[in-house]
Amino acid sequence: MNWNERIHAECYRPNADLRNFEQISFNFGPTLISWMQAHDPETHRKIVEQDQVNMRLHGVGNAMAQAYNHTILPLASDRDKETQVAWGIADFEYRFGRRPQGMWLPEAAVDLQTLDVLARYGIEFTILAPWSARSESLDPSEPYRVLLPGRRSMVVFFYQRELSARISFDPGATINADQFAQYNLLSGFRKDKARRGEAQLVLIASDGELYGHHQYMRDRFLARLVDGAGHQAGLTLTYPALWLKEHPVQQMVEIREPTSWSCHHGVRRWTGDCACTPNDGAWKAHLRHAFERLSQEIDRLYADVAQRLVDDPWELNRRYIHVILQKCSAESLIGEMAGHALTSDQIHRLHLMLEAQRERQRMFTSCGFYFEDFDRIEPKNCVAYAAQAVRLVHLATGVDLGAEVSADLQHVVSQYTHLHADRVFQRHLRRAEGVSSVRVGYAD
């Protein structure tokens, strides 16, 4: 049984069977949910259907979109932010059959530029950690509006810190949902607002895999909490889009940037050394530096190939998500964007460069930078994506970026096993070169 299958069997399938996705606000990483669609289409269908029940009942759904590759967006360029958000929206529309109103930011990592990209792409709200607010007296029982350039704005819900920590890290508190509702949940509400009869909400944010995978039986705890225990404690269920439909946003807030929910040092956990992980995190800085330099080279070569063939290379790259989702072929997308006839060789080269762009986005998946050491599957996977990108660029343009990347990756070394990232890269590059014809358009 592989890891995805195990988490699926312990968490996603039982939670879908219990109809928990009808009762909570949720989002899925596109890579995970596309795996689910292929391996258990019935559960995928149930999850989509549980959002649609709310659409029919309330006119707004409870599913949220997510930035596509789980990239830490404050660390990404403005153009990469746009790609991640555009791809996340397209994936959501493809599955849920509607525009997303809300988007979850990977690791709740935020800066103003990220919120502005969300606003420009029509997203209305997101959820952040309470310490992302620049406010001494934050009241998380209602959402706030963050003002952005150009008269744009973004609504932000802040999760309740103590209850989110309790549900995530204190299994003793979540054995009995009725007791949790009585002794914990009610304490999250403000007594002064309750006395005045003012509406207020408590938002608890947690990793979805907690419910049945990280913590045994908590899928059933959640089912009881949202279907009985909360009601008996006098509470009514809501979710961000429904709350916004019924309550105007009255308060403004500024955000502290960059901030995130699983690092208390901004976003340093994914870019170097901080106290969140023991030992020296310098390898992360070297890995990110290597990937950023490679990205610049790939972008330069991509633009070089693409701008001779299409008017807007980056719009083509953003629309390439429709090829990834198999809604159209690369040939038809490129043909449509070119507006004039191209040779099959031109189309093939551009297609290879679009696949290189796709691999390049995958290099920045946050889990590659999250843990304390380099010698783990997650960072090594990111290096494998880099090797694949280098191979695709070589095939498309004849330019070999391998030596440069290797030189940069020499500085990335495991503290425990002394594994060098350049050796991992070379191994994957040789493997990629061993494939006589590169498959393009394969699934994750």
Q: Minimum distance from CB of 128 to Zn ion (Å)?
A: 17
Contacts of 193 (CB under 8 A, 6+ apart): 141, 199, 200
If the CB atoms of residues 227 and 372 are measured against Zn ion, the closer one turns out to be: 372
Position 244, amino acid: L
If the CB atoms of residues 75 and 409 are measured against Zn ion, the closer one turns out to be: 75
**CA angle, 141 then 142 then 143, to 5°:** 135
First to last CA, the chain: 18
**CA angle, 50 then 87 then 164, to 5°:** 55
Q: Minimum distance from CB of 71 to Zn ion (Å)?
A: 18
If the CB atoms of residues 266 and 402 are measured against Zn ion, the closer one turns out to be: 266
If the CB atoms of residues 264 and 427 are measured against Zn ion, the closer one turns out to be: 264
If the CB atoms of residues 102 and 258 are measured against Zn ion, the closer one turns out to be: 258
If the CB atoms of residues 247 and 264 are measured against Zn ion, the closer one turns out to be: 264
Q: Minimum distance from CB of 2 to Zn ion (Å)?
A: 30
Beta bridge partners of 146: 154
Q: Minimum distance from CB of 67 to Zn ion (Å)?
A: 20
* Cα dihedral sign, 267-88-61-16: negative
If the CB atoms of residues 269 and 358 are measured against Zn ion, the closer one turns out to be: 269
**CA angle, 82 then 88 then 94, to 5°:** 135
Start-end of H helices in 307-376 = 313-319, 321-324, 330-338, 344-362, 367-370
Separation of alpha carbons 91 and 319, rounded Å? 11
Q: Minimum distance from CB of 372 to Zn ion (Å)?
A: 11
Q: Are the C-beta atoms of 52 and 84 separated by less than 8 Å?
A: no
Q: How far is CA 338 from the centre of its chain?
A: 31
If the CB atoms of residues 157 and 270 are measured against Zn ion, the closer one turns out to be: 270
Secondary structure, 3-state, 74-103 = HHCCHHHHHHHHHHHHHHHHHHHCCCCCEE
Q: Minimum distance from CB of 174 to Zn ion (Å)?
A: 26
Residue 283, SS3? helix
Separation of alpha carbons 386 and 374, rounded Å? 15
If the CB atoms of residues 274 and 325 are measured against Zn ion, the closer one turns out to be: 274
**245-274 binders of Zn ion (CB under 5 A):** 263, 265, 269, 274
The only residue of 55, 173, 186, 276 in contact with Zn ion, by rule CB under 5 A: 276
Binding-site size for Zn ion (CB under 5 A) equals 5
Q: Which residues of 422-436 are buried (b: 16+ CB within 10 A; e: fewer)?
A: bebbbebbeebeeee
If the CB atoms of residues 8 and 284 are measured against Zn ion, the closer one turns out to be: 284
Q: Which residues of 124-149 are buried (b: 16+ CB within 10 A; e: fewer)?
A: bbbbbbbebbebeebebbbbbbbebe
User: Which positions touch Zn ion (CB under 5 A)?
Assistant: 263, 265, 269, 274, 276
